[in-house]
Amino acid sequence: MFLSACATIQTPAPPHKSPQIDLSALSRPDLLLALHHCGIANSLACTHIHLALANSYLNSSSLNKTTLDNADRELDLAAQNQKLALQTRSLRRVVRALLENQILLQQYKSRLQQSQLQTQTALKEAHTAETRLHQLESLLQHHAEKTLKTPDHRVP
């Protein structure tokens, strides 16, 4: 069983006494506060709150690795209840696939950056070699011109 912020000592209130709250309208801090009063960790009330938290992460403005990790964790906590485990199975798979893609994207970016650095280094080395070649050509040409202008003293 997963550990969660749900109170495990309290027993959930009977369904007919608990008011139905639209969890999607609550903010994350309110949802986290509601976890302290929802009952046992795998109760339907607690797992619905975890599902609402997961949805709030998935609906955030940027789906980065952190928000996907948080959503994945909340979906795992929601899956403590068998009913929600079945209902959220496909969503959990999608979130995990997105996390894997985030990792692959980060690896690709790292390799691309490394490749760009290697290309820049190679271009600098090629420029240095080209400059050196021009210097040597100029020196050779200067030496050839000097040799042609100077009479050969060895001929009788």
User: 81-90 burial by CB neighbour count: b if 16+ within 10 A, else e?
Assistant: beebbeebee
Q: And the tokens for 101? A: 């893609």
Reported as a single tens digit per residue, the pLDDT across 50-101 is 999 999 999 988 889 999 999 999 999 999 999 999 999 999 999 999 999 9
Backbone angles phi, psi at 23, to 5 degrees: -65, -30
Q: Which of 60, 96, 62 is nearest to 76 (CA)?
A: 96
- pLDDT at 8 > cutoff 50: no
Reported as a single tens digit per residue, the pLDDT across 104-146 is 999 999 999 999 999 999 999 999 999 999 999 999 999 988 8
Amino acid found at 39? G
Can you say whether the dihedral through the CA atoms of 151, 153, 154, 156 is positive or negative?
positive
Domain boundary assignment for the chain: 28-107
Q: Give yes or no for a contact between 35 and 26, defined as CB atoms under 8 angstroms apart.
A: no
Reported as a single tens digit per residue, the pLDDT across 11-52 is 444 443 444 677 887 888 889 888 888 888 888 999 999 999
Q: And the tokens for 10? A: 């309290």
Output the DSSP codes for 92-154: HHHHHHHHHHHHHHHHHHHHHHHHHHHHHHHHHHHHHHHHHHHHHHHHHHHHHHHHHHS--TT
